[in-house]
Structure 1
Amino acid sequence: MSRQTGPARPSLTRDDVLDAAAALVKQHGPRALTMRKLAAELGTAVTSIYWHVGNRESLLDALVERTVADLGAITPGGRTPAQRIVSVARALRRQLRDHPHLVAMVHERGLTERMFQPAAQALVHEVHAAGLRGARAAEAVRAVLFQVVGFVLVERNRERSPAQHPGDQELWDVPAAEHDPALARALARGPQPERLFTASVRALVDGLLAGD
C-alpha cells in the first residue's frame, strides 16, 4: 500500500523566486538577501534557486530590472497639465516611500536615472502640454523630480531621527510665532507630510508654469 502524501507543491517559477527576494529586501534590506535564506523562505534547495536565476549577482540584476519596471508604471491623473504633474509627483513619492530598500538597491547598481526615466517622460509630456519647451521644460521636469527626491529624503531622515527635546510643541508658543496664535498652534502640531508635500509641489508647479 502506498504512503499517503499531501497535495503536491506547485512548481517553483522564476517569478516566485523574484517575489520572495523582493519581499526579503523590502523587509530587511539587500544584505539580508542570501541564496540560503531565500531557499528557506521558498522551501526549496539552494540549487533550485541557482537554476532559476543564476548566482546572487544575477539575482540582484534581475530584481533590479523588475523593480525599475515596476516603479516606472505611473499614470498621470487630472484635468489640467498642472494637476497631472502634481499627480505624477505624488505617485513617485509613494513609490519611493513604499520601496526604500529596493530603491536603494537600484541606486547602488547605478540605475537611478533609468528608474526615474518613466516619471520624467510623463513630466515631459505634461510640461509640453502646458506650453513649455526647451530649457524651460527641462528645468521644470528636473525641479519636480528634485522636489520629490529631496522631500522623501527629509521625511526618511525625520522618521529615523531620535525624539527631539524640546519638540515642536515646546518650541512654538505665541511669542515665538510673532504673536500669531494660529501659526503657533499649527507649528506646534508638527508637519503633516502628505499635505505639506502636495502644497509645496503645487506651489512649485504653479510657479514653473507661470514663467517669468
Structure 2
Amino acid sequence: MTRMSLTREEVLAAAGSLVRQHGPAALTMRKLAAELGTAVTSIYWHVGNRESLLDALVERTVEELGEIRPRGRTPADRIVSVARALRRELRARPHLIAMVHERGLTERMFLPAQQALVHEVHAAGLRGARAAQAVRAVQFQVVGYVLVERNRERAPVQRPDEEELWDTGAAPAEHDPALARSLAGPVDQDRLFTDSVRALVTGLLTGSTGRP
C-alpha cells in the first residue's frame, strides 16, 4: 500500500539508514521507495535525483556533526566529552563520513567540534598557537583512533593472535605477568580511548608537551 503523505526529512532519514547499513552503492531510488512504502516519483519530488539525494545526505551528516555539545564541570572534562562524542558519531556513520570526505567537506564537517574545543581550551587559559595545537591534537587523536579501530575490525584473522602471543610469555613481559595477562585479554576500546584522550588533555592543559 502506497503512503499518502511523506516528508523530505523522512526520505533523508530512510536513505541515511540504508547508507549506514549497506553503503552508498546499496542506495537506489526503487529500494528507498520500497523501504518507505511509496512510489519512486514521490522520492524524486521530495529530493530530486539520486545525486541530489546523496548531496542532501552529505549536508545532513555535516549538520549532525555540528550538534556535539560539551559536558562536564571542568574544561578538561568537557574536552574529553567532545572527543568521546565525536568518536561516537564518526563510528556510527562511516559510509556517510566517507561521502563527506569525497565531496571535499571534511574540514567544514569538523569545524563545529573544533569551535567547541576552542571554547574549552580558552576556558583553560590557553591562547594563540598553543590553543590551536591543543585543538588539533585532540581532533587528530580522535580521527586516528577511529581509523585504527576500523583497520583492526577489517583486518584478516591473525594467527597467532595477540592473546596467543602474550600467553606464551613474550619478552619483555616475562617479569611482569600482570602486564602479559592484560595484553593477552580483550581490549576495552571505550576505556582505552577515554584514558588516552584524558592523558593527552592533561598534558596539553598543563603545558607538559613531553619535549626536552
Q: TM-score of the superposition, structure 1-length normalised?
A: 0.92
Question: In structure 2, what is the Cα distance between the partners aligned to 1:15 and 1:169?
Answer: 46
Matched residue count: 206
1:109 to 99, 103, 107: 103
Q: Residue deviations 1:69-98, cap 9 Å, x none?
A: 112111111111111101100010011111
Residue in structure 2 matched with residue 200 of structure 1 by the alignment: 196
Give the letter for the 1:179 counterpart: H
Give the letter for the 1:155 counterpart: E
Which structure 1 residue ranges, 5 or more long, are not aligned? 1-5
* 1:18 CA displacement: 0.6
Give the letter for the 2:58 counterpart: V
Question: In structure 2, what is the Cα distance between the partners aligned to 1:156 and 1:67?
Answer: 19
Q: Is the 8 A contact 1:174 1:180 kept in 2?
A: no
Residue in structure 2 matched with residue 87 of structure 1 by the alignment: 81
2:119 to 125, 134, 138: 125
Task: Kindly report which structure 2 residues correspond to 1:1-80, keeping only aligned pairs within 5 A, or say none.
Answer: 9-80=3-74
Which structure 2 residue ranges, 5 or more long, are not aligned? none
Q: Residue deviations 1:106-131, cap 9 Å, x none?
A: 11111111111111100000000011
Higher mean C-alpha displacement, 134-143 vs 37-46: 37-46
Question: In structure 1, what is the Cα distance between the partners aligned to 2:51 and 2:25?
Answer: 12
Residue in structure 2 matched with residue 3 of structure 1 by the alignment: none
Identity of aligned residues (%): 78
Task: Kindly report which structure 2 residues correspond to 1:176-195, keeping only aligned pairs within 5 A, or say none.
Answer: 176=171, 177-195=173-191
* 1:10 CA displacement: 4.5
Matched, 1:163 2:125: no
1:148 to 119, 122, 142: 142
Q: TM-score of the superposition, structure 2-length normalised?
A: 0.92
